[in-house]
Structure 1
């Protein structure tokens, strides 16, 4: 029975029948039946296997320089890839370990050139230098398009043009500008005008800052209290002298705050003790120095 079956199969092969089929059909494509040739391919329901090539760019970038691999070197201990120049510089200047996983790299002998990986990069992206230049131009164009819709960039451009026009006019600030008005809620118009003249033309229209700079220094005759580490301070002009005394008590670790005096210099060169209810704004009105200098010492009877 087996002998007849073998003879039949040999006859079919000699007559040109497809040996991969159970039926007597002629060979059209070797090792493919007519069903395999004529059937429709299956439709894929999950499209997640298709990804753009940009999503794979992180696999071809060096973790050190974040650029495309150039003369790829592979670490034999952990099989991580880097640019040959980057990994050699890391081993020469830094710790002898992998920048990705921190595994110990004994020496440069643990590195191997991965030429197959370089061929893969070249076959996928072509010239790497042209690709990086194209991506850089694309990023610059994207930034330029976004900056056109940025209000800060527009305002900066306007102010730069105003400054250029001011330089062309020889620094003449008497010409009226849209921002040349300054509104300050003060009763004395002369002080308001003098303050306005000190402000550059490009930033007029801004309100006066509520911050004040001053120096808080130890009195020359004071021997018990130590000096502050930072004498130049900046704070709100609504701070009172009483607040400064509490500040000194915390900084100097001196609990008896009511024993501290804060002294200020008047226009006639007299040094007087300032009341706790006075604000820095009020003290600044009769200060003769800029920034004003305040001194502190311990009250003695």
Structure 2
């Protein structure tokens, strides 16, 4: 059951997801869209892997049979990120399941460390987006890194006063994890080893393995860009006591 809207004047609209399946299910695999990809000639949408595999044998749309391209049908495919965001927002736990499946796939083939290195390279260390444009194949997210308004480290010996970033804005891959931002902040703020840094979105603490796509879907969907993340520095002992 999907619920939309709802105010004092207007009743909340409730829809069964199965009633929307014709708009969010790929006809080639009968599953919900993953990496939704649209044919520019007819605007029909499929999973990326499904349509790419299909076009190895045919040059026509599997829904309307329109010819996509005489010799190179793949050039008329475009990622449909709006549709993918709609699917992830409608179907509970679909994004988390897909991310878990990808991690298991890479881990089983010993590629998880390679993927981690690639994600880390998505941070250039430059927090000012005005220095140039970034062109990458993966989806990007705009972030604003703010000091947490309740910066309470504790009155014990070794308390640390957190500074404020001079350049607060950053763009990164939606696949980048919270841990990558933590490492970046540690470097930029010169956080000593005895301290550690936590990140929050909309007052929810974020876990190290959460990708930015999940954070946006869970805590920022429907709000204006950039997504605001707050950072808080505390001693490792305080963090351990809190988590314990």
- Structure showing greater relative contact order (alpha-carbon pairs closer than 8 Å, 6 or more residues apart): 2
Query: TM-score over 0.5 for the alignment?
Result: no
Q: Which has the higher helix share?
A: 1
TM-score by length of 2: 0.32
Which structure: larger Rg? 1
TM-score by length of 1: 0.26
